[in-house]
A = this chain, B = another copy of it.
């Protein structure tokens, strides 16, 4: 609250809404707000030292992002993502990632490909140090880089939203230590296909990369209750 309090002294150059939005996203990411829990507007507002208006607007934004949902006269709730929905998102991500790879293989500049190769190298290093904490952000940046290298603005816009929605499901870190090495080999193969401009190969590899992620996701569920509460398969 203190940090926001002195921040509001600054002349109006930035709105509160993005800050609140980032805070809610952080709370969800950290696990403070877990799926199904209600977002208490007044509490959050006074915590941040502001009024309920910006908080409500930030919640509205997050509804369309898919992180929250709204129930009339009951407020905003952290969305619960069912297994079916998570799998749907994996399928969609596979298709989009494949599309991005095909586009990037045709049109991406060398700078993009070099940047992605650098990220692969960085992940190699993280694997060598067995440093999951370093691997994960690089992995996210790699995927985002490919989506942007494709040059389709909407792809680059959509991808992080799908990532965020998937995060809602994460009961625990999805990155298994053993999987890091396999995953990064897939990255390397994709970059190589991009460099040699093999369009279809890059597309297939990219699709299979996400499909492999989906398979790992399914494995991580295995014994767990696959029938989530509210497993509306519709």
Contact = CB atoms under 8 A, between A and B. Distances in A.
A92 B14 contact: no
A156 to B, nearest CB: 10
A134 to B, nearest CB: 30
A92 B97 CA distance: 11
Interface string A148-165: 000011110010001000
A14 B63 contact: no
Contacts of A63: 61
A96 B12 CA distance: 41
Interface residues of A, number: 33
B88 A154 contact: yes
Interface string A179-211: 000000000000000000000000000000000
A124 interface: no
Given A12-B73, A64-B65, A158-B158, 20 more contacts: A12-B72, A53-B56, A56-B57, A57-B60, A58-B60, A60-B60, A60-B61, A64-B64, A88-B153, A88-B154, A89-B154, A91-B99, A91-B152, A92-B99, A92-B152, A92-B154, A92-B155, A92-B158, A95-B99, A154-B162
Interface of A: 12-15, 17, 53, 56-58, 60-61, 63-65, 72-73, 84-85, 88-89, 91-92, 95-96, 99, 103, 152-155, 158, 162, 234
23 contacts: A12-B72, A14-B72, A15-B72, A53-B53, A53-B56, A57-B57, A57-B60, A60-B60, A61-B61, A64-B65, A84-B153, A85-B154, A88-B153, A89-B154, A91-B103, A91-B152, A92-B99, A92-B152, A92-B154, A92-B158, A95-B99, A153-B234, A158-B158
